[in-house]
Amino acid sequence: MTTPAPRRGRPPASTREALEEVAFDLLLRDGYEATTVQAIMEAGNVGRTTFFRYFGSKGGIVWGEFDRAVDRLRDALAAADDAPVLTAIRNAVVESTRLSKAASPDAWLDRFRVMDRDPALAAETAHHWSDWANVISAYVEDRTGIPATGPRAAAIGGAVQAAYVAVLRSWSSAAESVDVDVNELDRHLSPLCAALQVTVDLAE
């Protein structure tokens, strides 16, 4: 009986998380447009069936988990108690971030780096962040009756989103191996949310 030859090359990326790491290494190095699905499959030593089962498309690498993060934010807001509106928002943003980090610990900041730095993704990134901010604006309307599409609620959603992106940028510009303390996010959001709560109180 002939003994099979040992498999050579890189071990296969046997989990979604492992293949994400491989993919983001390429996306950060070569850019979104230049990185092909074939290149990711070859680097991860996986076939098309595995790749498309995990991501569905190249875009799914970047946006699939982002969309799940938006769902986590929405769920956290739906489960919020009757704390002041901006306190509930701050807590939900922190908790949803904690869950996103736990879901993809080795890739979640690399995903933000790709989204934030790649010019090819600028328009789509803006669209996805608008969806994120709109979840907050809709929650403001649910709690207060302030129209989500009006200037006050939209400004609250936009301000929280801008602050959130600023914190993510500070983390992503640090060393690649930085161990992010999500509680730091709460400290950064706290004064902003306190100021925004005043605008809500004045409207009630």
What tens digit of pLDDT does each residue of 97-129 get? 999 999 888 889 999 999 999 999 999 999 999
Q: Tell me the per-residue pLDDT of 146-168, one tens digit each, with 9 for 90 and over.
A: 999 999 999 999 999 999 999 99
Instruction: Identify which has the larger pLDDT, 5 or 63.
Output: 63
163 close to 188: Cβ distance less than 8 angstroms: yes
Residues 153, 147: Cα–Cα separation, whole Å: 6
Kind plus residue range of the DSSP H or E element containing 153: helix 151-172
Residue 5: is its pLDDT beyond 80?
no
Q: At what angle do helices 58-78 and 37-44 cross, to 10 degrees?
A: 90
pTM of the model: 0.88
Query: Residue 23 CB: number of other CB atoms within 10 A?
Result: 28
Structural domains in the chain plus CATH codes: 62-203 (1.10.357.10)
